[in-house]
Chain A
């Protein structure tokens, strides 16, 4: 038996190995398919599929709140706006509107619209669509952040199909912020937005499908009004909620683009090679410490001033945001018309002064709760540094990490018991937009329970200017900044830039001022 050249065992081994080899030859590699798709185009040219990794899935009813990466990707790909701000400055540029002129009384604006624009359904874009989009945005049920500005548009004349005249209740210094933000939607299919079934705009890509928790798909809009754009045939956005998984997918080249990675992760991915970060300058965010001014000892302005002097802003920007930002006592980015370097440096780390202010308060200080989103690594790190800084000034703080959902509820409900750490946006637009759109800054009602005639007056005066720039505007913004610095219901830490990361396979990625993804000029290389 043993002398037989082909035993039964050897035969079975042979069959097994042969079957494995055949299976290996017959099966294609899933990774290979992905890499071939990326490498198929050796030189920049039209075509291909961009693969995006997004950490948060779509909430269709949040379309107008511009929150979450899936929403900002959807808006950037599918929708256009009437005007577009450049990456820097507040000089609007043509988009769906080609030119515009203000009313002589400062209470109106007329816009001339492009005549060659079609919705993805094939219908021609007209002034009636502008009215529909602005009215929808102003509807409270959509919670658009610039709703108060949209609601101040009292009349919309659409008698000419390619010209629209807006009338305002009062001068609106931030009207171009609104026109840069409101996506122009198709009235005939708007009912499908809330259910996530249809998203029809005039943008470079058409919405194809959405599989909740899985992916979003878009295809090229062949009728896009910009000639020979977009280059890409298709965009696939995968939902990858775990940031570590997203980072792995990016490092493995299985997605071309990743949003919402922490600054440390982007830095690490950059070191790994073949990963390029995009610093979203012009779309700034601000990190701040909020204070409930009705809760002792924060009801004492000296304690809030002590906190402002105790914070090591430079350390936070350097360590948590890896240097992509700058320390500031005010929310304004450097190119904002409200930016003033002297005012921005009013509160710097000065521990003796902080301790002196604490001493002036008299009596022992109670432990102050410091609330933040616990699963946000950046905010957790900031909260810990704040705790350490305040301890050095004699202010004891107890960390209170919360889930995002609970944090948002407490923020809106004004339920914070002491301090909180969060970020905000909107300061990159006209300064008045911050005070009428970002809830923490709202003069009428805010999470700090702060109100003062001076702040309300300054916020209203800045909003009702005829223009966002100029000498008069500068004086109004200075008054607003002084109100923020004097009242300290929000203690700014600094301004920072969000970072995206992409592989070398996808190039030409752009963004708008609210971090909407722009792939009009993107291509696979």
Chain B
């Protein structure tokens, strides 16, 4: 297992290095200028040039990149051009909010898939099948901002049951009962597409497992159905579903950008959106690199879990 881990880590680091170069370069290739945003529409070109000099944007791009990378390696993430604060602090605040939202969504998605997947696999009721197909198709097809707006109009504006957006005034940890209400709509909105994909994949995997010979043998041997499902089918269907779940985490983080915008949830998605709008390079490049790092890490963990659950992966890798 250790050899397997050691073999995967260098490639992950290389991906991160290449991603950092690409992100840095692409951001500077996008038209727009943070100095112009700082100066405002009534500024003169001279004022903009002075701000560019102050921010160090007039230096050669490779020099800027090496400075940034060097600082990054010493733990200095830099300062936001526009907000003025340290990127590390902004990141910590945003990450906490996004983590809470993504975790809640993930739990919801997994719970939904765990309930609906077996129903999908059972396929005994035509109407239930149609309902599940309709639900999963709609959940995948509807963009989160459409679902979000619909939820807000229904539960926020019309019924006035839930807050339309934002975070609790006292913070997430102050009143858990209040926090849950602020969290509910964005979490559902973010969880639905992930839950739909997971439900379909888990359901199909289960269905495949239930059709295998060993299940027929176990049924013939008189082993109760629930025991066959839990001990044999689910156990074999879960590893592949975990891999899909790992891929869905990426979608979850991507979807968070839209959901946070719709619900004014001040997480990393909102931070990156504002950063891109205003060309706040230090914030955006760290956030993008962080999302790549999270994705690489999740993939690494997924592979490790997969290898742990399925010895053939480890053995295949060794051979």
Contacts and interface: CB of A to CB of B under 8 A. Distances in A.
A28 B43 CA distance: 50
A384 interface: no
A483 interface: no
Interface string A29-50: 1110111000000000000000
Interface string A55-99: 001111110010100000000000000000000000000000000
A30 B31 contact: no
A240 B166 contact: yes
Interface in A394-440: 403-406, 408-409, 411-414, 422, 426, 437-439
Contacts of A67: 40-41
A236 interface: yes
Interface string A218-245: 0000000000000000001011111011
Given A30-B168, A31-B161, A34-B163, A405 B33 contact: yes
Contact of B36 (A35, A215, A252, A408): A408
A352 interface: no
A456 interface: no
B17 to A, nearest CB: 28
A239 to B, nearest CB: 7
Nearest to A196: B84
Contacts of B312: none
Interface string B254-280: 000000011110100011011001110
B44 A405 contact: no
A262 interface: no
Contacts, number: 175
A195 B32 CA distance: 23
A405 B271 contact: no
B164 interface: yes
B83 interface: yes
Interface string B47-81: 11010001000000000000000000000000010
B274 A412 contact: no
A211 B90 CA distance: 9
Contacts of B48: 409, 412-413
Given A194-B84, A412-B44, A214 B277 contact: no
Contact of A244 (B149, B161, B182, B266): B149
A324 interface: no
A213 interface: yes
Given A59-B37, A239-B264, A406-B32, A248 B157 contact: yes
Nearest to B156: A252
A212 B225 CA distance: 55
Task: Give the most central of A28, A145, A240, A252: most B CB within 10 Å.
Answer: A252
A483 to B, nearest CB: 20
Interface string A251-269: 1111000000000000000
Nearest to B271: A213
A27 interface: yes
B261 A242 contact: yes
Given A29-B181, A211-B93, A242-B264, A254 B41 contact: no
A248 B153 contact: yes
A59 B152 contact: no
B43 A60 contact: no
How many chain B residues sit at the interface, stated as a range, is 35 or more
A212 B177 contact: no
A252 B90 CA distance: 30
B43 A143 contact: yes
B164 A254 contact: yes
B149 A33 contact: no
Contact of A405 (B36, B162, B167, B261): B36
Given A61-B82, A212-B93, A241-B274, A412 B264 contact: no
Interface string A312-353: 000000000000000000000000000000000000000000
B169 interface: yes
B45 A405 contact: no
Chain A binding surface SS class? mixed
Contacts of B181: 27, 29-31
A249 B41 contact: no
A239 B265 CA distance: 9
Nearest to A236: B169
A140 interface: yes
A65 B40 CA distance: 7
Contacts of A29: 161, 181
A442 interface: yes
Interface string A12-36: 0000000000000011111101110
Contact of B44 (A27, A403, A445): A445
A213 B274 contact: yes
A28 B177 contact: yes
Contact of A439 (B38, B41, B83, B175): B41
Contacts of A438: 42
B250 interface: no
Contacts of A406: 31-32
Interface in B173-193: 175, 177-178, 180-182
Contacts of A8: none
B262 A245 contact: yes
B88 interface: no
Contact of B37 (A27, A239, A253, A408): A408
Interface in B19-48: 31-34, 36-45, 47-48
B84 A30 contact: no
B160 interface: yes
Nearest to A426: B42
Contact of B163 (A213, A254, A412): A254
A51 B180 CA distance: 21
B45 A65 contact: no
B307 to A, nearest CB: 39
5 contacts: A31-B161, A211-B93, A212-B83, A248-B164, A405-B278
Given A31-B163, A248-B165, A408-B37, 17 more contacts: A28-B178, A30-B168, A35-B160, A59-B82, A65-B42, A212-B83, A212-B93, A214-B166, A215-B166, A240-B165, A245-B264, A405-B279, A409-B48, A426-B42, A439-B41, A445-B44, A445-B45
Interface of B: 31-34, 36-45, 47-48, 50, 54, 80, 82-85, 90, 93-94, 149, 152-153, 156-157, 160-169, 175, 177-178, 180-182, 261-264, 266, 270-271, 273-274, 277-279
